[in-house]
Amino acid sequence: MKKICLLLSIVLLFTMFSGINYNDVYAASNPIVKIGLYYGSTAQSQIAISADNGVSYNAYDAETSTYSTVYNSGPGQVVNIRKDSYFTGSEVKLTPVASTAGPTIGPYHIKLQSTYNTYDNTIKVISTYKTKGITAYPVYTDAGWEIWTGFYIDQATAQAAITEVKGNLGQVACSVVDKVDTRICAVDSNTGEIIFMYAAAQKLMRGKPAADEDAIIIGTGKLNTFRGQVEFFRKTGSDMTIINVLPMEEYLYGVVPNEIEAFSNPEALKAQAIAARTYSYVYLNKHAAYGFNLCSTTDCHVYKGKSSESPITNKAVDDTKDMVVTYNGKLAETLYFSSSGGMTEDSVNVWGSDIAYLKSVEDKYESGKSYKYNWTLTFTADDLSQKLKNYNLGTVTGMEITKKSEAGRPIEIVVKGTLKPEGVKITRDKCRTFLSLYSQWFTISTNADVNIEVNGEEQKAPLSQVKVVTKDGETKISDPGEKVTIVGADGKNTTVSAVPTEYYFAGKGWGHAVGMSQEGAKGMADAGFTYDQILAHYYQGTAIELKR
């Protein structure tokens, strides 16, 4: 745990998302939120939409919160929503292509005659056109309904086609409709027939189930179902952004079971619901630039809609309705993660921000059996050299943890290479993310490690970092290709590489370790702690309040 389009102006985006600081002001109870399902790199060129009893497609006026009906699909009818752009193939199966890649369908059209008041009025006229050999379709615009024909690849082709159109229909008024990147159209997925084109610039296109009990089905089959409505928005030069529009509490129904197992102790589920709700309000404007509030991935919360819901987790959401975590009267940043390994981390050691309620606490109730609780990873020197090429190290020759937090996590690592023998420093959260490690709590060893005694204490270190005594005196061995035979105290010979060729990471815990451990919360709940006690443990000094 990435559409239908609508033209949304900069002014409208500003109106929708500005003027509210959710850290200082609690929103109205259970507000409507917009969740980005597909956007940016996951934006869609076309997508199937349906509902058991049909979908009502509407033009939504954000300023007045009113809807104007555009089209009502039939029960189970699958409508393919696609961008008005360049494609190859048939109307039933199209493949998006660049304008220079030989498209057979394009975003230029011919407008026929006048503007109409209703969809039905256009259908009557379109039927008469069809008898004369012209395939046309209704178009919803800000000024009313229009009738267009054709999907031409450029303006010249559309202009040339006007002669044929007039030859079939007589001297009707015709004009070329230029390419506009924000248009979308709805197509019957079975026949390929254009149901309607949406070309309004001042209203958002939304689809909602015709029956209240239904959910929107996005894609083929019923695995991806969503409560509320689906909004189609296309930014200039982009594929379609697909947005789920629904009340906050219903959004949380589709979040909680994807963040924590539904079979967990009910008190842990309640703690998760409150943490997810609070986090959602804190970051409600995170994706304003894309025209929605929150996304459906780990960048916000993992959200999979109604198809992922569980009655048990829905009850946890309902039982904690409107509850949020606060610190000194403001919403707290309720970060959470999978498991800590026995101790959470201070936020200052991860992101550099010193947050009073995100301090390191003991996490002794974790089971120790969860996914990636204990983990190991191996990297060759070549692997590391490639992964760290942006540091201009050359070939990696050494890596050492030089500082640890009070909890025991590395907060500074020095990596050395042939081009930078002095090394570069990796600090804080980058100690985890620079190699996409599962957590920030780990040790590093290598295939060149030897046991040495420092101040009476035995330690391990790569051979290249210590001085060795040979018949010629003290020296350092740093040739990456050299092998050295070491005679141990027991008289046994061991051959090791002078410079490490393999690096071993042994760690525990999964995630950034700041805030609430989900494994710890489950363990605390099983030990008899209540949801408020769990939250108070991980977010020290906070309170639980009803959102007002």
Final residue before a domain boundary, out of 227, 244, 261:
244
Looking at residue 91, its pLDDT comes to 73
How many domains is the chain built from?
A: 2
Looking at residue 492, its pLDDT comes to 72
Domain with 402, as residue range(s), is: 374-508
**Residue 360 burial (CB < 10 Å; 0-12/13-18/19+)?**
buried
Evaluate whether residue 139 is within a structural domain: yes
Final residue before a domain boundary, out of 215, 244, 273:
244
Looking at residue 464, its pLDDT comes to 60
Looking at residue 476, its pLDDT comes to 61
Evaluate whether residue 176 is within a structural domain: yes
Which residue ranges of the chain lie beneath pLDDT 70?
Answer: 1-28, 451-491, 493-494, 496
Output the CA–CA distances (angstroms, integers) from residue 133 to 147, 169, 184, in the order listed: 15, 9, 25
Evaluate whether residue 26 is within a structural domain: no
Q: Do residues 85 and 231 both lie within one domain?
A: yes
Looking at residue 4, its pLDDT comes to 34
Final residue before a domain boundary, out of 210, 228, 244:
244
Looking at residue 543, its pLDDT comes to 98
Q: Do residues 240 and 379 both lie within one domain?
A: no
Q: Do residues 381 and 234 both lie within one domain?
A: no
Evaluate whether residue 540 is within a structural domain: no
Rounded Cα distance, 164 and 248, in Å: 53
* Strand-pair category, 32-38 with 294-295: parallel
Q: How many CB atoms lie within 10 A of CB 394?
A: 15
Q: Do residues 67 and 212 both lie within one domain?
A: yes
Rounded Cα distance, 427 and 410, in Å: 8
Evaluate whether residue 105 is within a structural domain: yes
Looking at residue 29, its pLDDT comes to 76
Interval 345-374: pLDDT, tens: 999 999 999 999 999 999 999 999 999 999
Evaluate whether residue 269 is within a structural domain: no
Evaluate whether residue 13 is within a structural domain: no
The pTM is what? 0.86
